[in-house]
Every structure is written in C-alpha cells, then in structure tokens.
Amino acid sequence: MIELKTTGSDQHSWPSPYRAWYVTGVLNLAFVLAFIDRQIVALLVGPIQNDLHLTDTEVSLLGGLAFVFLYTFLGIPIGRLVDKGNRRSIIAVGVFVWSCMTVACGFAKNFTHLFLARVGVGVGEATLSPAALSILSDYFPRERLGLAVSVYLSGASIGTGLAFLLGGAAIAFFDQSGQITLPIVGELKSWQFAFMIVGAPGVLFSFLMFTFREPIRRNKLIQEPSRINKAVPTLSEVFKFLLKHKKFYISHFVGFGLYLAFTYGFSFWAIEYFVRTFSVDRSQIAYIYGAQVIIFGGLGTLLAGFLSDYYERKGHRDAKLRVAFWPSVPLFLLALSIPYISYYQIAIAVVMLMTFCWKFPLAPAAASLQIATPNEMRGIVTGLYLFVGNTLGLAIGPAVIGVLSDYVVANPDEIRWAIGLAAVIMLPASILALILCKRGYIACLGD
C-alpha cells in the first residue's frame, strides 16, 4: 500500500529564480499560442457561417465540442504520461501538433473538414496545462506558486486578445485587397488565411521547449520500502485518493467548470453580440475586444496570483480558494445586465469588467489543485480538471448560448437575451459549488 500523504520537506534545493522565471516565460508563450489557435474561431464566426452556410448551433460546435471531442478519451492517458514521463517533451510534441492542425483549418472546405481539424487542435492542446502546471509546481515553493501560475495563465488573456487583433487585421486586409491566391493552395477566404497566419509560428516554437531541463519532482508520496521504486500509484489508488477528498475535488471541478462554461461561452459569442446588437464593424470591435482582453484579463490574472500568495504568506491556508471566489457574484450581476444595455459604450465598459472577473480566479484555482495533490497524481488530476473545464467551458458553454439563440430566443439579432439566460442557468450553481469547495480544501490540507 502507498500511504497517501505528502512529504513536508524536500531534500533538493529549489532552482534559481532566474531559471524558474525563464521556464515560466517559455510556458507562458506556449499558452499564448494555444489560446490564439483556440480562440481565433470566435472572431471568424460570421465569415465561416456565410461561406459554409452554418447555423449558430453548428458554429458553436466548432468552437466547443470539436475542441474537446477526443479529450474525453485522452485526458487520463495524457495525465499518466505527465506523471511518469518527460513533461517538457510532451509539451513540445503537443505544440507541434496543435499548430499543424490550426494551419489545417485553413484548408477546410466544409463543416466536417473544419470540425476534424479543430479536433486535432484540441488533442494537441490537451498536453499543455497538465504538464506545465506540474512543472511549475516543481520550480516554485507553495508560497510563490500562485504568482508563477498566474503569469503562465496570463497567456490565455494575451493569446485571446492577439487572436482577435491578428484576426481583425486579416479581415481588414481582405476587405481592402479581396481574395488571395497562393501557389498549390489556390484561392483563400479571409477566415482560411487567418487560421494559417496564427497556426504557423507554433511549428517553430515547439523546439524552444528544449531550452530548459525537466525539473526534479517534489511533494512526492510517502512510500513503504517495498514500493519505493514504484514510479506512480495505480489508477485505483489515484481514484481512492480522489474519493477520500471528494468534497474538495468534485465541488472544485463542478464550480469552476460551470464558471468556465459561462465565461468561455460569452467570450465565444462576444464579437457576434456587439455586431448583432450594435451593428459595429467586425474588424473594429475585434481590435477593441482583443485589446481589453489583454489588459483587463491580464490584470485580473496577475492580481489574483499576487493576492493569493500574499494571503498565503499571511497564514491563510485557504488563500488560493478564498481569492478565487471573490469575482463570482460580481460576474453574475454584470452578466444579468447584458440584455438591458442599450448603449455601445456602456456595453464595452461592462464587458471589460466581466473580462477582469472571468480571468481573476483561474490562477488560484489551478494552484490550489497543485498544492492539494501529490506530485505523482497531478497530471491525472489536472487532466480531469481540464477535461471538466473544457467540456463545460468550450463544448457546453458556447453551445448553450447557440441553442438558446436558435430555439428559445429564436432571433439571432437578440443573442444578448441568450447570454443573459445562460448566466441564470450556470452561475448560481457555480457559486454554490465554490462555497462547498473551500470547506473541502481545508479538510484536504489537514491531512
């Protein structure tokens, strides 16, 4: 039997701050690329719909279900690889795969082709965060981990913003010059060219992962002498550990999963909300929305990481989840206001505040999992967390708003009401689960 407790000390000294922050920077850049490739489709909803003749429900599947389609089957195998393999190499392969598949989206001629290419993007990106968060946990002590994770996760805001900025530039370019014809490839639509532009850099970037070393694994399980050479616990032992602490893990997965369901869903439809509600130019709102995601999303992510570490050093053991809970109620109230906003400038201001709230809890939420989970289980646990978060956030979230738009509101121009209804469905349940999660976290640390 493996005793499911973690060691309180470590015989190895921590890496130098310079090396640790260099690794954080490289992982941040990888996450930037991931979110550019993940979010670019949200900007291209209109052009893709017009060219491929898709409904709101169908295009929401490209942004969500396609991305997580194979993650259902790969989450645990990838987690096992992370727990016992070379995490740096796993990330390098993943970056290469998802970048190639993003470029492949640019060759799509119909819904099926684009759906399958988006599946490939999701498969590649499934490798990143389980490995990256595990690596950071071995480069930074607990009281410094929150800020490091927030710097890594700020790549989501930067990547999302750049996706809209680069995509907006591509659309504006096509509006001025018309279609482009490339050798062999032939004529390209604006959305096809955008996919190729954002996917190509990642192919070369994947080699940058080999500029740092795989770190020593810390916070490992205490093992009996007869099992000391066992690399990782069995799946049965992992799930026994999760069941023992089910109050924390289940409420964590559900609470933050529902939170992501609404926030990712709203982000996916944000450009269409502005275009359909206020009749603004698509490329213009892409610049504004992209810039505010970088500024307000990045600010929220970094501030939350700093505050969670600050309160941890002050002796608050629940600091990570305490800070993560703060924006949940304000986000709900802001989301409820969306259907009633009549002025474009007010809508922009509200969306800026929503973006800050959306990104604020992500770093402390991820850090809390790394702190509560033994090293040999972090890959699987993070994989499960991302599976739930991606399924609810990327598959369910956009689809719920799309279905509400098509079948409840039944008027694409009134998508603001679908967004408000989605908030009512998802966010109260999320708030309740997060209240339960904090209690379970304290009990988990008490072991």
Residue 219 has pLDDT above 60, yes or no: yes
Task: Spell out the alpha helix ranges (H) of 245-392.
Answer: 246-278, 282-292, 298-313, 319-325, 328-337, 344-359, 362-372, 378-390
What pLDDT is recorded for position 231? 60
What pLDDT is recorded for position 388? 87
User: Which one has a higher pLDDT value, 190 or 30?
Assistant: 30
pLDDT mean over 422-428 = 97
Identify whether the C-beta of residue 125 lies closer than 8 Å to the C-beta of residue 94.
yes
pLDDT mean over 107-120 = 89
Residue 9 lies in a domain: no
Residue 8 lies in a domain: no
Per-residue pLDDT band for 407 (boundaries 50, 70, 90) equals very high
Residue 84 lies in a domain: yes
- Tens-digit pLDDT profile for residues 252-283: 999 999 999 999 899 989 999 999 999 998 88
Cα torsion for 333, 335, 336, 338, to the nearest 10°? Answer: 130
The strand pairing partners of 223, in sequence order, are 2
Identify whether the C-beta of residue 34 lies closer than 8 Å to the C-beta of residue 380.
no
Supply 130's token pair: 């389980």
Percent of the chain residues past pLDDT 70, beyond the cut: 90
What pLDDT is recorded for position 229? 47
What pLDDT is recorded for position 5? 47
What pLDDT is recorded for position 1? 42
Residue 224 has pLDDT above 60, yes or no: no
- Tens-digit pLDDT profile for residues 83-106: 989 999 999 999 999 999 999 998
Residue 255 lies in a domain: yes
What pLDDT is recorded for position 185? 65
Structural domain range at position 160: 15-206+235-445
- Tens-digit pLDDT profile for residues 430-444: 999 999 998 788 877
Residue 2 lies in a domain: no
What pLDDT is recorded for position 443? 78
What pLDDT is recorded for position 4? 43
Widest pairwise Cα distance in the chain: 71
- Tens-digit pLDDT profile for residues 138-183: 999 988 899 999 999 999 999 888 888 877 776 677 666 666 666 6
Residue 412 has pLDDT above 70, yes or no: yes
- Tens-digit pLDDT profile for residues 47-66: 888 888 888 888 888 877 78
pLDDT mean over 395-414 = 91
What pLDDT is recorded for position 205? 92
What pLDDT is recorded for position 165? 84
Number of domains making up the chain = 1
b/e 88-113 (16+ beta carbons within 10 angstroms → b): bebbbebbbbbbbbbbbbbebeebee
SS3 187: strand
- At 28, which CATH number? 1.20.1250.20
Residue 211 lies in a domain: no
Residue 55 lies in a domain: yes
Residue 441 lies in a domain: yes
SS3 223: strand
In angstroms, the Cα distances linking 160 to 38, 182, 431 are 8, 27, 25
pLDDT mean over 287-293 = 91
